[in-house]
Amino acid sequence: MSTTTTAGRSQAEATTFAIILAVSLCHCINDIMQSLLAAIYPLLKTNYQLDFWQIGLLTFTFQLTASLLQPAIGAITDKRPMPYSLPYGMAASLIGLIVLAYAGHYWLLLIGASLIGIGSAIFHPESSRIARFASGGRFGLAQSLFQVGGNFGQSLGPLLAAFIVVPMGQQSLAWFSVASLAGIIILWQVGGWYSRRRANAPKAARHPAARTFSRNRILATLAVLAILVCSKNAYISSISSYYTFYSIEKFGVSVQMSQVMLFLFLGSAALGILLGGPFGDRYGQKTMIWFSIVGVLPFTLALPYANLEWTMILTVIIGLILSSAFSNIVVFAQELVPGRVGMIAGIFFGFAFGIGGIAAAVLGVVADAKGIEFVFKLCSYLPLIGLLTIFLPNIREPKEVTA
């Protein structure tokens, strides 16, 4: 191999890696805006005298908006990719954040949450496609890098809320529009790169061959994967929406301390995402999904009975193990249905994640009726649903369809 060829290949790999990191950074910015909503729930509860069911409705509004739109947007962009839609999606989230900053009534909070959901619905399918396109075949790594940007953004939200929004007030949310504007500029450049590379890509690379599983087996497997994500996100939603209230009520910590505790959980979840993808590439996605289920259950069952110190330790362990499966579930589904990257991303970042919003609303009602500690005891059993992994096929050696 000539030096020129080697240099050209290295340059191409560096370029695609930079694209993945750029998309991951914008995922971080996108999810900071999302997580700020949940992170300022204690502030909103006080400012607007909200009940827990109204807090749950805010999460429900955000996630329902995203869940209804993402699969549809993903299916449309599978047929006609729209990389330049990404900056418009971030612009919608930016507007939603400003509405939240200056909302004078509760219904305006719902509008702001829905606009952030619309931005998320536009962002995730196409950005996930670009990350996979730039992966060079290392799908787990690319998906992990893409998702860890979002998780890191989610983990930063509580800290930013604790040290900026809580002391400075609700209107300080508008300050984060500067990061959103930077994201819009980056995504415009990424969209241009993808458009050029896709135009020059071989037709076979744009339209991969279908798997040899039967249609019914594929649908059943996608249903199992969706249920797995739903159960995991219902548990994540119980933490992200109510962990601050739980720690304040049970341990008497300050609002800022409760935000730091939430950051520890979300930060460990981001690390789990980052590690899960490469391990999935090496040992198989199904193996990592099993690990996240068997490994996390003892810790979720112990959490409701732990003291403050052990609660912080257990939530870090839970976040690390539970999140290690997310990128592997998405890659598993994308490998199962090649050529439907946007639709799959829409399902698993939208519909299945939207179930977490429904769970948050339901758990809010339960918290009002039974107390926040009862909610955490109830949710500790959710990882048991993950035993459905036994019904997943081995996609590395698919069976031929028989007539």
Taking residue 370's Cβ as centre, other Cβ atoms within 10 Å add up to 12
**All residues at 6 or more sequence positions from 111 whose CB lies less than 8 Å from its CB, including other chains:** 96, 99, 103
Tokens (6 digits) for 40: 């300022």
Ranges of the chain whose pLDDT falls below 70: 1-15, 201-212, 351-357, 396-403
What pLDDT is recorded for position 153? 82
* CB-based burial label for 367 (10 Å; 0-12, 13-18, 19+): buried
CA angle 282, 230, 130 (to 5 degrees): 55
363: closest CA among 214, 246, 227?
246
What digits encode the pLDDT tens for the residues 242-255?
A: 888 899 999 999 88
Can you give the pLDDT at residue 12?
47
Return the percentage of the chain with pLDDT > 70, whole number.
89
pLDDT at position 4 is 44
State the Cα–Cα distance between residues 121 and 67, nearest whole angstrom.
Answer: 7
pLDDT tens column, 158-188: 778 878 887 888 888 889 889 999 999 999 9
Residue 202 is predicted with a pLDDT of 57
What helix, strand, coil percent values describe the chain, rounded to 5? 85, 0, 15
Q: Is the dihedral of CA 283, 285, 286, 292 positive or negative?
A: positive
Return the CATH architecture of domain 13-391.
Up-down Bundle (1.20)
What's the confidence (pLDDT) of residue 399?
A: 41
What are the structure tokens assigned to 169, written together? 């007030």
